[in-house]
């Protein structure tokens, strides 16, 4: 057993801060996802979110509702655990980019006006975690699968943006003809 005095205790707060950041952000995403999927924490549930997706033109609405809920729930859980961190960051980035485009962009940047500020901060946070890595107190580190660096953050951003573009384009193409003619 190693003597605790031989460890650099200045690293302990940073290890705990990384863990707390991942667990907080990931946990909040799990909460948002389960609001969508199960109606927990005052959320709309899948039926309510499907109606919201319909109103936003995200066709087919139920498929898109499940995609958003699953992406947030699974991506958040992976982020919190520090497992497949770049992939978790990509999933959450993609979901937030779609939310910005379909629900928040028209309202400007400020959250108080229903804008995209909060979503942008979450994207920045998950990409910063992808760049810096999940840290020592993570499943990626435990399993020897930790990936970090600018390339992984850029890859997560690109994959998230590509997924968001794909979801938005698929919804546009699936929009019923009568709605397309009106809009």
Per-residue pLDDT of the chain (183 residues; tens, 9 = 90+): 444 455 566 678 888 999 999 999 999 999 999 999 999 999 999 999 999 999 999 999 999 999 999 999 999 999 999 999 999 999 999 999 999 999 999 999 999 999 999 999 999 999 999 999 999 999 999 999 999 999 999 999 999 999 999 999 999 999 876 454 544
Is residue 57 a part of any domain in this protein? yes
Is residue 114 a part of any domain in this protein? yes
Quickly tell me which residue has 């991942």 as its tokens.
22
At 93 the pLDDT is 98
Is residue 181 a part of any domain in this protein? no
Environment class of residue 2 by beta-carbon count within 10 Å: exposed (0-12), middle (13-18) or buried (19+)?
A: exposed
Is residue 182 a part of any domain in this protein? no
- Structural domain tally of the chain? 1
Query: DSSP string spanning the chain?
Result: ---GGGS-TTHHHHHHHHHHHHHHHHHHHHHHHHHHHH-GGG--HHHHHHHHHHHHT-SSHHHHHHHHHHHHHHHHHHHHHTSSHHHHHHHHHHHHHHHIIIIIGGG-S-GGGT-SHHHHHHHHHHHHHHHH-S-SSSHHHHHT----SHHHHHHHHHHHHHHHHHHHHHHHHHS-HHHHHH-
Is residue 2 a part of any domain in this protein? no
| Gap between the Cα atoms of 72 and 82, Å rounded | 15
Is residue 69 a part of any domain in this protein? yes
Is residue 5 a part of any domain in this protein? no
Is residue 7 a part of any domain in this protein? no
Which pair of tokens denotes residue 1?
């057993």
- 21 is in which domain, residue-wise? 12-176
At 6 the pLDDT is 52
For the entire predicted model, the pTM comes to 0.89
């Amino acid at each position: 057993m190693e003597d605790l005095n031989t460890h650099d205790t200045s690293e302990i707060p940073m290890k705990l801060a990384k863990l707390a950041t991942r667990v907080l952000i990931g946990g909040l995403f799990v909460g948002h996802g389960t609001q969508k999927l199960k109606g927990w924490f005052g959320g709309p549930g899948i039926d309510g979110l499907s109606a919201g997706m319909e109103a936003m033109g995200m066709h087919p609405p139920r498929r898109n509702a499940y995609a958003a809920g699953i992406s947030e729930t699974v991506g958040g859980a992976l982020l919190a655990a520090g497992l497949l961190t770049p992939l978790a960051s990509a999933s959450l980035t993609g979901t937030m980019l779609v939310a910005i485009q379909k629900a928040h962009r028209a309202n400007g940047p400020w959250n108080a006006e229903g804008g995209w500020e909060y979503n942008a901060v979450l994207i920045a946070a998950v990409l910063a975690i992808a760049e810096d890595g999940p840290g020592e107190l993570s499943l990626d580190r435990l399993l020897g699968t930790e990936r970090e660096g600018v390339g992984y953050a850029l890859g997560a951003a690109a994959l998230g943006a590509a997924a968001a573009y794909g979801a938005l384009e698929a919804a546009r193409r699936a929009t019923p003809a009568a709605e397309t003619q009106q809009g």
